[in-house]
Amino acid sequence: MNIVLFGPPGAGKGTQADMLIQKYHIPHLSTGNIFRAAIKNETELGLKVKSILDEGGLVEDQLTVDLVAEELAFARYNSGAIFDGFPRTVFQAESLDKLLAKKDARIDFVFSLEVPKEELIRRILSRGQGRTDDTEEGIHNRLEVYNKETAPVLAYYKEKGLVHDIDGIGTVEEIFGRIAGFLH
């Protein structure tokens, strides 16, 4: 089963991914983790990513897709994955569809965690992860970028009938129950 988790910063994607992993034993594919591992292992792609990030740039679509393709080649993903942080653009979504098609697979579910902006800000400020942009202004900027980047991707998956809007307010267990209800 291949699941894409969508949601703005603070929506609870990581928490819900952890619960999906525990219950369904589906591996988690996070582009952030892939970037960090490629950099740490000093792979050719990792060195490219490091130089881009060191300059304060964003990793371009094709390089991100290449890293995900490299990761998807591992046997642990043969039965599916939980995608978190990917795809972020329509190009990445189309590329993911092609990568999965080569494995006779497809995206089965896209869960969009819906949380009001005020709650997102409250959550991010209260979790104390210490990001330099964990200020109200920084959070507003991150949310604006998220809304610009992801709206077209959600529209892409909505056209395919794959998106399930999930109310992201409630206890972690309540939210997980809403997601799990689609998986039975």
State yes or no: is 36 an active-site residue. Answer: no
User: Is the CA virtual torsion 120, 162, 147, 77 positive or negative?
Assistant: positive
Q: Which of 13, 103, 106, 117 is catalytic?
A: 13
Domain hosting 9: range is: 2-176
Q: Does residue 73 register a pLDDT over 80?
A: yes
Q: Does residue 18 register a pLDDT over 70?
A: yes
**At CA 100, angle to CA 16 and CA 47, rounded to 5?**
80
pLDDT at 133: 65
> Does residue 100 lie within any of the structural domains?
yes
Q: How many domains does the chain have?
A: 1
The three-class DSSP label of residue 87 is coil
pLDDT at 20: 96
> Does residue 183 lie within any of the structural domains?
no
* Segment 162-183, tens digit of pLDDT: 999 999 999 999 999 999 999 9
Mean predicted confidence (pLDDT) in 74-82: 95
> Does residue 182 lie within any of the structural domains?
no
pLDDT at 45: 81
pLDDT at 34: 85
Q: What percent of the chain has pLDDT over 90?
A: 60
> Does residue 154 lie within any of the structural domains?
yes
Q: Which of 40, 103, 117, 127 is catalytic?
A: 127
pLDDT at 56: 66
State yes or no: is 122 an active-site residue. Answer: no
Q: Which of 40, 106, 117, 131 is catalytic?
A: 131
Question: Is the separation of the CB atoms in 155 and 6 below 8 Å?
Answer: no
Mean predicted confidence (pLDDT) in 28-55: 85
Q: Does residue 155 register a pLDDT over 80?
A: yes
pTM to 2 decimal places: 0.86
Residue (of 174, 163, 168) closest to 12 by Cα position: 168
Residue (of 9, 13, 48) closest to 30 by Cα position: 13
pLDDT at 30: 87
> Does residue 123 lie within any of the structural domains?
yes
State yes or no: is 178 an active-site residue. Answer: no
Average pLDDT, the chain: 90
> Does residue 184 lie within any of the structural domains?
no
Tell me the CA end-to-end span of the chain in Å, nearest whole number.
12
State yes or no: is 127 an active-site residue. Answer: yes
pLDDT at 125: 86
State yes or no: is 50 an active-site residue. Answer: no
Mean predicted confidence (pLDDT) in 146-154: 86
> Does residue 11 lie within any of the structural domains?
yes
The three-class DSSP label of residue 25 is coil
> Does residue 159 lie within any of the structural domains?
yes
Q: Does residue 81 register a pLDDT over 80?
A: yes
The neighbour count for residue 96, using CB atoms within 10 Å, is 22
Where residue 161 falls (left for φ over 0; alpha for ψ -120 to 50; beta otherwise) is left
Whole-angstrom Cα distance, residue 47 to residue 37?
11
Residue 95 is part of a domain; what is its CATH number? 3.40.50.300
* Segment 103-132, tens digit of pLDDT: 999 999 999 999 999 999 888 888 766 566
The neighbour count for residue 169, using CB atoms within 10 Å, is 13
